[in-house]
A and B are shown apart, each in its own frame.
Chain A
Amino acid sequence: MTNSIKLHVNGHEHEIEVALNTPLLYVLRNQLQLNGPKFGCGLQQCGACMVLKDGESVPSCRLPVSAVSKSKIRTLEGLADINGSLHKVQQAFIDEQAAQCGYCLNGMIVAAVALLEKNDKPSDDEIRKKLALNICRCGIHSRVIKAVKKAASN
């Protein structure tokens, strides 16, 4: 059984017909056709599905869509400005070539944006701690730390 629900995503309000217990991740990917948030585990263990919920980076894979109707959701797609200019964290990931397969990048970037909004000069250890939920199998960790520090300095 589906219901109509309002969602604020990337500055727009969407009205969506969906079962209210559907996790936000599936609504973002399927109803709103966003690619940023990725399915990684469905267990809130890996961070691939992270989004910014009222500025906090949170996994979206088990978050019922009904619980976020009053929140402002920002995804990877909502980080660049309307002219397409990249957020400084996105740009720093390109500059540092901080990717191999890139599947984890959504969560890494979202968590880094949340970090820099609270702490504009994070240390290596603060970055490691903030990104601790984000799994990367390719081993790009040291590039990500460089990218986050570079973004912080810009």
Chain B
Amino acid sequence: MKATRRNFIKQIGYVSIGFSMVGTVGLANGGFMPIDKTGSLLGTPDKDQINAWLQILENGKVKVLTGKIELGQGIRIAVAQMAAEELNTDLDLIEVNIAETGVTPDEGFTAGSSSIVSSAMAVRNAAASAREIILKIASKKWGMAISQLQLKNGKVLGPEREMSLYELLDGEQIEKTIAKATEYKGKTIRKYVGRPIPRKDIEAMVRGQEVFVQDLRFPGMVHARVVRPPSYTAKLVTINEAELERSPHLLKLVRKGSFLGVLAEDEYQAIRLMEKAKQLAKWNAPERLPGNINVKEYLKTLPADIETHEEKGDSDTSLKQSKKQLSASFFKPYLMHAANGPSCAVALFKEGELYVWTHSQGVYPLRRTLAKLVKMPEDAVHLKAVPGSGCFGQNGANDAATEAALMAIEYPGRHVRLQWTREDEHGWEPYGTAMIVELKAGLDENGEIDGWKCAIWSDGHSNRPNGNPNTLLPAQFLEEGYGHPGIGYRGGAVRNAIPYYDIPNLKVETHIFQGPLRASSLRGLGTYTNVFAIESFMDELARMSNTDPIEFRIRHSNDERSIACMKKLQEKLVGISIRGGEGLGLAFSRYKNNASYCAMAAHVSVDKITGSVQVKKMWSVVDAGETINPDGLKNQMEGGMIQSASWALKEEVRFDAQHITTLNWNSYPIFRFPDTPEVEVEVIDRVDEPPMGAGEAAQGPATAAIVNAIFDATGVRIRELPVNKELIKQAKT
């Protein structure tokens, strides 16, 4: 009997290879989401089953399902390469379905450089497992030894016969879950894996095809804008609805507590209505932010929860007895994700079911949280991830999706498209928190580090949707009173706080506060500030011990892979000439102390009259274990280096007593083309090691290398970001 979707559903829990009768789901057909409750019938695919990750389609293609979203990190091509290799199947025969509730596995969030580690590895396991099962079936069916058979381009080939996988599996029931495969072709053959296979989506982008959530269009779709309050805690007192309703373009004013939104047929009219509503709304908006303050000083005055994160040996005694001591305090301001394309979502409420198209990093966690907010059962809420602009952590994606849903419920039967404005994104996204890191270290008689103390002041680093609606921005303005989401995930602050070096006596202490601004995950979390501080400090300590900065780091390392990265970097820097007013700086870190290794160098040129710094060139050497796609890995590293340089030299979220004041690209400048350095990345590929993501590996070392280069050029030690030109103007050298 041919497997139908019905018996496929019945057998869930047993069937390991499924037949999708739905066919292609992708943006090519308008982000099609089957509005027939199929998703909720299927439930969440079981990650232990092959068919959660891989389905053989009737058209001879293989569909790979990932619970991650494509955000420019190249996960689609990486998972396709994994499947192609294990199934020996041309990449053109592989389709990738990104995160969608009820369709793809629940992989939590697309975050923490984990797309490769979790999703691509799961696909590899599922595909290798599927290959072995398929060959066994063919061997049994044809009475041939497995050694006589091979898989190629969606077919099983034997001596003088072949059959498509779809035909071969017709009616078969394979009651097996993913097993550890006896062989991974990706580790041996490497026809697809480990090669710089180009991404397919770039052609769609350069042709202006429908790629992004912003590009979705549905028949009868209406346009929405949110009428933003003047501050985080503002309450709507009144709005002259009658005046607003005089506009023939207003379809609906959505008012839920202090949440206000407008709907119109035409997008530009929605913008005009939003502007008009802003003028007509009266708010009670007390000034609750600490305006006009030194943020660094202010943060230390906040009540803090103090904990010892790590204690080894006796750092106090060691510091007292050390021959030379050093102490310094480092500061990083609030930074924004500042996505190039402001957040956007489309929502539809129809027959009691809610559908949302979103660039959220976590469709399942968002569904859990959104369902609670709108008081609907989870299985009546369907979310489909559609690529958005690169977000580098939690930007406004979840909030825009929630706001679109709130408005769609008030305007049933038609798709509601909400596009955030630039001011919405700059002013309301959850920022990367400001942080202070204070370090003390002592050198022994051999010039080696014997004692180290670190104290960190930080907000929590992650307030992602966690089931509590208060993690979603509009919840703050509804009548229910969901309250402040609090500090959130504390563990972000200590990420990379322990130096990845041999230090006998060590103490790391955290002071976690609830800061004045809305904050959540930004690329690398606390790693950025911790590595900036540690690697600046290592540069100073190396100078104190009169040792070459790379040699100094190598002397404190016992991990061969760290040392290999640093030595490779040293080779790359041979013959670099540094002229007057220029400097070269170095840094190293291993992301999370257990993921990718990265050694970094920066060459800067400093204008001591104006204090401006130009980063001329940056080099990095990265070891991310087994490389899946070297060009994708380089692209992530290059982007991280340039973005980190921008953070270091330009960026700072500012605010007054009312709200954020850095609301556009003039008040919150980031690197533009004339600012950007040339970047060069070298990959150390280690086939026998597990692959690791590298999306966040460059952030810390890149900034540290730049400030160390500024010191090399000027003798000025930058310990507060962004780099202050006034300090450089005071340089004596």
| Residues of A participating in the B interface, judged by any CB pair closer than 8 Å | 19, 22-23, 26, 29-30, 33-36, 38-43, 45-46, 48, 75-77, 80, 86, 90, 93-94, 97-106, 109, 125, 127-129, 131-145
Contacts and interface: CB of A to CB of B under 8 A. Distances in A.
A104 B673 contact: no
B-side binding surface: helix, strand, loop or mixed? Answer: loop
Nearest to A146: B678
Interface in B660-687: 664-666, 670-674, 676-679
Contact of B206 (A30, A46, A86): A86
A46 B421 CA distance: 13
B95 interface: no
B524 to A, nearest CB: 14
A43 B422 CA distance: 8
Interface in B669-713: 670-674, 676-679
Most A CB atoms within 10 A — which of B206, B340, B665?
Answer: B206
A107 to B, nearest CB: 9
Contact of A100 (B206, B209, B639): B639
A97 B642 contact: no
Nearest to A41: B422
Contact of A101 (B72, B269, B338, B666): B72
A45 B664 contact: yes
B642 A141 contact: yes
Contact of B205 (A29, A33, A105, A142): A105
A87 to B, nearest CB: 9
B198 to A, nearest CB: 6
A77 B207 CA distance: 6
A135 B340 contact: yes
A141 B210 contact: no
A-side binding surface: helix, strand, loop or mixed? Answer: loop
A128 B615 CA distance: 14
Closest 5 CB pairs of A and B: A139-B642, A101-B72, A100-B72, A36-B208, A139-B639
Interface in B243-279: 266-269, 271
A103 to B, nearest CB: 4
A90 B422 contact: no
Contacts of A105: 202, 205-206
A138 B267 contact: no
Interface stretch (B53-61, B282-290, B382-390, B543-551): B382-390
B48 interface: no
A140 B206 contact: no
Given A40-B342, A86-B207, A140 B635 contact: yes
Contact of A136 (B217, B340, B674): B340
Nearest to B270: A26
B207 A22 contact: no
A93 B206 contact: yes
Contacts of B389: 101, 103, 137
B115 interface: no
17 contacts: A22-B266, A22-B268, A34-B208, A39-B214, A43-B422, A45-B664, A76-B208, A77-B208, A86-B203, A98-B202, A100-B74, A100-B390, A101-B387, A132-B672, A134-B672, A138-B643, A139-B646
B641 A42 contact: no
A35 B210 contact: yes
A60 to B, nearest CB: 12
Contact of A135 (B269, B387, B631, B665): B665
A139 B271 CA distance: 30
Given A30-B266, A36-B208, A140 B202 contact: no
A100 B677 CA distance: 18
Interface in B183-237: 198-199, 201-203, 205-212, 214-215, 217
A132 B676 CA distance: 10
Nearest to B338: A137
A39 B419 contact: yes
Contacts of B337: 137
Contacts of A42: 271, 421-422
